[in-house]
Structure 1
Amino acid sequence: MQCSHCHLEFDEKRLLKVHINGHDEYFCCKGCEGVYKLLYAEGLEDFYNKIGANTLEPAKILDENLDSFDSTPFFERYVRQKDNYCELALVLERIHCIACVWLNEKILAKTTGILKVNINYTNNKATLLYDPKSIKISEIIQVIRSIGYDAHAYDPRLQETYAQKEKREYYIKMVVGIFCVMNIMWIAVAQYAGYFSGITSQMRNILNFAGFTLATPVLFFSGIVFWRGALSAFKYKTPNMDLLVISGASLAYLYSIYASFKGEETYFESVAMIITFVLIGKFLEVRGKKSAVDSLDKLNAQMPLSVRVAKSESEEFKEVSVESVCVGDVVQVFAGERVALDGVLLSENALCDESAINGEALPRQKSAKDSIYSGSLALDMPFLYRVSKTYKESLMMQIVSLVEDSLNARPKIQEMANFITRYFSSVILSLAFGTFLYWEYVLNVSFDKALMVMISVIIIACPCALALATPIASLVGLGEALKHRILFKEARFLETIAKANILVLDKTGTLTEGRLKVQNVREFERLDYGVLVAMLEQNAHPVSRGVLEFIKESGGCESLIKIKLDKITQKSARGILAEWSGSVYLGGNLELLKEHGVKIPQDLENRDCSVFYFAKDTKIIAQFFLQDSIKQDAKIAISKLQAKGIDCVLLSGDHLGVCERVAGELGITEFYGNQSPLEKADFIDKLHAQGKVVVMAGDGINDSVALSKSDIGIAMGGGIDLAISVSDIVVLDDSMQGVLESFRIGRRTYRFILQNLALSLLYNALTIPLAMTGLVIPLIAALSMSLSSLLVVGNSLRIKGE
């Protein structure tokens, strides 16, 4: 019989029988029982439908639910090792405003064992770096719960379930609120009619009691989400939006009870409407955030949860979870299935759609020993491949991780907004109290009039609009970039690239296709292809690849005996040096040959193309002349970038004549050739000294130093693994159009961030004084506050429109 949680087979006598949810369930241990109960308590029972027939490791935990966070399966699935520390991503529940975020960050940062905390307001994702020797995950969760919030592990594949659960809670509370508001409005109509036509005290009392009966569930049931945040804010002395809402509604509620006994005007309908309107506004805000993050979730939705695995090709294949697959295992993929892990093809051939990775519409024909990437789709026939990377290290999960992490680093402009928002609620409460004293003791108005003005001031102020201004626009911008096959490592790079004024471009692989082809060969002595091929196979530079392909296509490799070089030294962009059979061989550019004392003939040809020189000891043996074609979209992209006021500079390690030809075709007036990686980095430093904000685009291989020196490094997607490690932005489809889109999206997003900040500041600057002068009633204040947040969210979603 199977365990209800881990699905492993056990003798029925060994299983624990537990009556749960009206029927019997069986567990192999208390740990599995605890996890099963936890998932159902959290509304995550759909997890068992998602894993299907897959098996899990038994949860080695204690009876208490919190201990499930310390189980081995939880650690392996959700925790990442970083040196001697661990990184954990959690989703916080009951977050309503930026003050909630600040409170959690403050408390967690002070907790022993937690080294770093970063919480994103748009998706409530908390990323924590902690010392597992000092604190357990269950203890971290307990700290969060102790301040009135809750948390669960961030799993993009289950986020939809959590989102649905959150929406259900809002729906129920909204239905109660709307029902009570609709009925309380009829009572308000009767009360107002009675004031003009006359009403008995008995009827007035009946109507007041009915208003009290309908307003009470709205305040204490529908408004529970605000009560939680308000109580935490009061407890930890960090005023937030929840405290403003509850303060205003509660004061109006208490005064209305008092006014009922005195026979004066009540405001029960305002209490119900304040809570209901703000609740509807928060619900629409949640919907807006979900809409913005949907494009990011699609990356995870397409990845399989299980694969068919065997230890060798001859063994029987079994379906297991992707996390349990090891390097070296053999995976079977059927047509129409998505590849889950990186590996090397074992079958003779395979046809794969890699559009999920690079956006390339045409499928790739793969041969035996070719690389297979996670995220690609098998098209025509089943195939086998050997796993070369674990699930977490595979390409698609690196991309997914990059997209998730991009939301954590905040733009500088957001820090300013957060600073203002942090003290916003305290200032508003002080202003409201001061307004009450002014109306009560200076203007000598009635107590109830002064109280209503104070309530309006408290309710109309909206810190959420200011808090949302930057993160929601950044989130939409990142999602829009992803649709164009562009990955920003951090959200703050949207702001940096928006301020950039110069773009430095590598040539090979950036402006050109990076597929150099040999056009001509000049031999000075008989070529020793054996040594040359052995050298070229050790170098991934496009020039070396082009020469090697030429030799293979011309049949020069067929009769060669495999040579093992005595010593080989990589010289990056300049070339390679090798020793064999007592001689020194050089392959690369002219500068490399001169550096090692090779004699240069007087009649050496110098064409406007890439030249690969092959030399033995001090003599040149041959010249290979190669040419690369310019990318189709490069000229249009360069002209549009220049039209935006961005200076374009060509900086290449290739021959100066080649750089001049390419620059001339593309309309680039400033170009430099024969640049080593260090010289490229020095050039970036000189631009910084001139006060330039520099963006560099390169292939991520020879330009790594210069990319790291730039304010923004854009790596073209040709060498994706390395590109991700050395750059700030990755253009997956390897196109110059992607570079142009990076600038466009960055500038557009930054413009909308400024618009959002202006809108939120203008709203508060106009409405708070209006409320202080008594021109806004509490009901309109509540509606206005909700609309201000929705205005910021709606404006941010316009980023998609262009």
Structure 2
Amino acid sequence: MSKINNHDDHNHEHSHDHNHGKMPVVLYFVGLTLAIIALFLSEQYELLQNILFSIATLTAGYHVVVLEGIGETIENSKRNRRFVPNSHILMGLAALGASLIGEFWEGALLILIFSGAHFLEEYAEGRSKREITKLVEMHPTTARRITSNGKTEKINVEELKVGDHLQVRNGDQVPIDGVILSGETSIDESSINGESIPKEKTKGDPVFGSTINGNGTFTMEVTKQNEDTVFSKILTLVNQNQNNQTRVGSIIKKFEPKYVTIVLIAVTLFVILAPLLFDWPWSQSIYRGLVLLVAAAPCALAAATVSVTLSATSNLAKKGVLSKGSSYLSQLADIETISFDKTGTLTKGKPEVTNAYFSGNVEKEDLIDIIVALEKGSNHPLADAILKRFEAKHHLDIEVTNQIGKGVEGEYKGHRYRIGKPISFKNVSSEISLLNTDWASKGETVVYIAKDEEVVGLIGLMDVPNEQAQATINYFKQQGIHTTLITGDSKMTGEAVARKLGMDEVIANVMPEDKSKIINEQKEKHGITAMVGDGVNDAPALVNADVGIAMGDGTDVAVDVSDLVLMKNNLNKLVHSHRTSQKMNRVIWQNIIFSMSVVAFLVIVTFLGLTDMTLSVIIHEGSTLVVILNGLRLLRSVNHSIE
């Protein structure tokens, strides 16, 4: 099963919607107003004062304490058929207890501070969510479809079908994925790949829905249904990401009800035993117990992961990296080995001329003119690479013959010229043979050029590493992470690429069905394993890896089954993701240690009688806000690129 559908079983218990409109805030300010009025009443109106404080406590705490604290405790307990308390119930009990012992003002103040801090927390957490979900607003809704009579009609994007022809005017959003039929333009694709520089586009180039057209007008053909576009998949991944938590966050969510239960039992025992053990009066014991309830509430701990993970994934989304859940991003920080597919992942995916040699028996410029003329009439896959490297000074008109097994040949000025595989030639000098052996050992594909069947030159071609591959491998090696190249190419080619990049291990001649098994072996040998790939043949390995990472220009299957997607084939983004995941985990643990330290401190000073309920609430809620704001630091765009 794809990891896309993997969710923590407990998620439904915490999926409540905090958005009840403006009413909670209105009630809060009603409570705040009543509490302020009560404060200014003189002692002769004590009864009215206490009534106003009680109403203030109820109205200000209705959303946070009654709905979330009591309401969710009852709902979750019924669903699980056991007591599952919400942490907010602790504050409600503390406020109720304070009122029962006559401390109406302290009870109201506790709720006012707690609810006010809670609204601030929701705002802070909502900011990181908005950073991601504002993508939805960028989704185009209409398109200009070209009708059979050549006119344009404006229709909803949902009505478009594969094969429809559209007109996209300057400044418009591209409505859906497709290919340009006519026209030239530049398109801002930052919403898809995070690149700020617009990309030049012309006939035959792909375009993506939600991107912004520049000054040119073009026509395009629809190639995907609306729900299958790159942008639609981004939105799907964003939704999955918001419902998925780190392992630490999941543990905290599971542990929270048990922790609250332990606190309730401990405080009850404390209130009962303190008068017996310390000879305290019951009023002092109850008051200290209520302060202890506030001190031990795990609000900061519960918030330790939420803003951090949402901020980290939001940061990456803006950089063109999508994670299907922060648990996968968290695991990326802990990887001990990373495996790479070769073609299209570490390499450019297309061969380039890397070497060329021509003997002294021919004029180099004349031979290049002949090579270009022959390759223009060739149908073999290396022709484009050769034509990109060599430019003819004189354009020759040569009739070209393509022969399977022999290559391409043609006649010019009474001589027969041929370009083909080394194995098809017999008359080869020792110099040419030595060069062939040397270049082939470096992973290059070699072709010979012959004049009247005498080899007079050779060209070496290779699918070379892309611009970021070397620095990426260096980065992971510096981190102490084992690097492996997994390729279906020959051992010689695989080793040549790996040697060039300084990789630790090469596994070559691999069939697609074997890649998943190799990932299992990597897990057993090294530990937590990541796999980076782009093709259908990589899909089983991407699913099996602890963290599957797809190159965004790869196949839909590879993207669908992966945990992280680099929306542009840029390995810099992988390094940025790894560094961000490490920072995310560090901040999470900073928050956990800080929040638990504050709880421990408050519990100790409560036992020693060095704090009261008001001070305890201020310190407690202050620590929760610190945790939230610390997490929001990850929203800042930090330059994590590599040279």
Residue 247 of structure 1: how far off its partner (Å): 1.6
* 1:145-156 matches, cutoff 5 A: none
Q: CA deviation at 1:296?
A: 0.9
8 Å CA contact 1:610–1:654 kept in 2: the answer is no
Q: Aligned partners of 1:308, 1:488: CA distance in 2, in Å?
A: 33
Q: 2:66 corresponds to which residue?
A: 227
1:611 to 437, 441, 445: 445
Whether 1:172 aligns to 2:56 is no
Asked whether 1:400 is paired with 2:273, we answer no
CA contact 2:337–2:526 (8 Å) conserved in 1: no
2:582 matched residue in structure 1: 747
User: In structure 2, how many angstroms separate the alpha carbons of the residues matched to 1:493 and 1:680?
Assistant: 21
Deviation of the 1:378 alpha carbon: 0.8
Deviation at 1:308, TM superposition (A): 3.2
Which residue in 2 is equivalent to 1:204? 43
Query: 1:30 matched to which residue of 2?
Result: none
After superposition, give the CA deviation of every residue in 1:331-363 in whole Å (9 maximum; x if it has no partner). 332211222311233334343222322233443
SS in 2 for 1:465: helix
Residue 211 (structure 2) aligns with: 376
Query: What SS is found at the alignment partner of 2:549?
Result: strand
| Contact 1:454–1:772 (Cα < 8 Å) also in 2 | no
Determine whether 1:249 maps to 2:95.
yes
> How far apart in 2 are the matches of 1:707 and 1:238?
38
* Change over 3 Å in CA distance of 1:461–1:348 after alignment to 2: same
Work out which of the residue numbers 284, 289, 294 in structure 1 matches 2:130: 294
How far has the Cα of 1:656 moved from its partner?
Answer: 4.5
- Does residue 718 of the first structure (1) align with residue 553 of the second (2)? yes
Distance in 2, Cα, partners of 1:315 & 1:500: 56
Change beyond 3 A, Cα 1:291–1:720: farther
Q: Measure how far apart 1:624 and its partner are.
A: 7.7
How many residues in Structure 1 have an aligned counterpart in Structure 2? 577
Q: Deviation digits for residues 644-667 of structure 1, max 9, x if unmatched?
A: 222223333445454445444433
Query: Could you tell me how far 1:612 is from its partner in structure 2?
Result: 8.0
SS in 2 for 1:487: strand
- d(CA) in 2 for partners of 1:318, 1:120: 44
Tell me, what secondary structure is at the counterpart of 2:227? coil
Q: Quick check: 1:345–1:367 contact (8 Å CA) kept in 2?
A: yes
Deviation for aligned residue 1:150: 6.4
Per-residue CA deviation, residues 607-633 of structure 1 (Å, 9 max, x unaligned), is 23442899xxxxxxx998423443333
Distance 1:776 1:368 in 2: 73
The one-letter amino acid paired with 1:228 is L
- The reply on whether 1:414 has 2:414 as its aligned counterpart is no
* C-alpha separation in 2, matches of 1:222 and 1:234: 21
Q: Which residue of 2 aligns with 1:576?
A: none
Alignment of 1:11-50 (within 5 A): none
Q: 1:305 aligns with which of 141, 144, 147?
A: 141
Q: CA deviation at 1:211?
A: 2.5
Question: Separation in 1 of the partners of 2:588 and 2:494?
Answer: 39
Q: 1:270 offset after TM fit, Å?
A: 0.8
Per-residue deviation, 1:177: 3.9
Match of 2:114 among 255, 278, 284: 278
Change (3 A) 1:253 1:529: same
Matches of 1:745 and 1:346, distance apart in 2: 40
Aligned to 2:454: none
Contact 1:358 1:734 in 2 (8 A): no
Written as runs of structure 1 = structure 2, the 5 A alignment for 1:316-395 is: 316-320=152-156, 322-395=157-230
Question: Measured at CA, do residues 799 and 678 of structure 1 come closer, stay the same or move farther in structure 2, by a change above 3 Å?
Answer: same
- Secondary structure of 1:346 counterpart: strand
Q: For residue 339 of structure 1, give the secondary structure of its aligned residue in structure 2.
A: coil
Return the alpha-carbon distance in structure 2 between the equivalents of residues 611 and 653 of structure 1.
Answer: 15
TM-superposed CA distance for 1:682, in Å, is 4.2
| Residue 690 in structure 1 maps to residue 525 in structure 2 | yes
* Offset at residue 499 of structure 1 (A): 1.4
Equivalent in the alignment of 2:623: 788
Q: Which of 296, 300, 321 is matched with 1:486 structurally?
A: 321
2:53 to 211, 215, 218: 215
Residue identity matched to 2:339 = V
Asked if the contact 1:312/1:329 (under 8 Å) is kept, the reply is no
- Measure the CA separation in 1 of the matches of 2:57 and 2:13: 29
CA contact (8 A) 2:341 2:485 kept: yes
Deviation at 1:379, TM superposition (A): 0.6
Give the conservation status (yes or no) of the 8 Å contact 2:183–2:219: no
Give the match for residue 240 of structure 1: 86
Q: Does 1:728 align with 2:563?
A: yes
Deviations 1:401-445 (A, max 9, x none): 112212333333333222220212222222222122123454443
Deviation at 1:557, TM superposition (A): 14
- TM-score for both structures, normalised by structure 2: 0.78
2:264 pairs with 1:424: no
Question: Post-superposition shift, 1:317?
Answer: 0.6
Question: Secondary structure of 1:469's partner?
Answer: coil
Deviations 1:47-66 (A, max 9, x none): xxxxxxxxxxxxxxxxxxxx
Q: State the SS of the aligned residue for 2:480.
A: coil
Counterpart of 2:613, as a letter, is: P
Percent of residue pairs bearing the same amino acid type:
24
CA spacing shift, 1:404–1:561, aligned 2, 3 Å: farther
C-alpha spacing 1:512/1:529, structure 2 compared with 1 (3 Å): closer
TM-score (norm 1): 0.63
Query: Structure 1 residues 392 and 216, CA, compared in 2 at 3 Å: closer, same or farther?
Result: same
Which amino acid in the other structure matches residue 218 of structure 2? F
Residues 88-237 of structure 1 mapped to structure 2, 5 A cutoff: 118-119=11-12, 124=15, 166=21, 168-186=22-40, 204-206=43-45, 208-225=46-63, 226-232=65-71, 233-234=73-74, 236=78, 237=83
> In 1, distance between residues paired with 2:536 and 2:377?
24
1:609–1:625 CA contact under 8 A, matched in 2? no
Residue 243 of structure 2 aligns with an amino acid whose one-letter code is N
**Structure 2: distance between partners of 1:309 and 1:464:** 54
Secondary structure at the counterpart of residue 339 of structure 2: strand
Contact 1:517 1:547 survives alignment (8 Å): no
Change (3 A) 1:174 1:274: same
Distance 1:421 1:150 in 2: 18
**Gap runs ≥5 in structure 1:** 1-81, 90-104, 106-115, 125-148, 152-161, 188-202, 257-266, 537-543, 566-589, 615-621
Q: Which runs of 5+ in 2 are unaligned?
A: 358-372, 405-420, 449-456, 639-643
Structure 1 residue 770, shift from structure 2 partner? 3.5
Larger relative contact order (CA 8 Å, sep ≥ 6): 2
Alpha-carbon distance between aligned partners in 1 of 2:510 and 2:94, rounded to the nearest angstrom:
67
2:446 & 2:158 partners in 1: Cα distance? 45
**1:179 corresponds to which letter in structure 2?**
T
> Is the Cα–Cα contact under 8 Å of residues 505 and 650 in structure 1 kept in the other structure?
yes
Contact 2:121/2:628, CA 8 A, preserved across alignment: yes
Aligned-partner Cα distance in 1 for 2:306–2:583: 14
Distance 1:558 1:699 in 2: 40
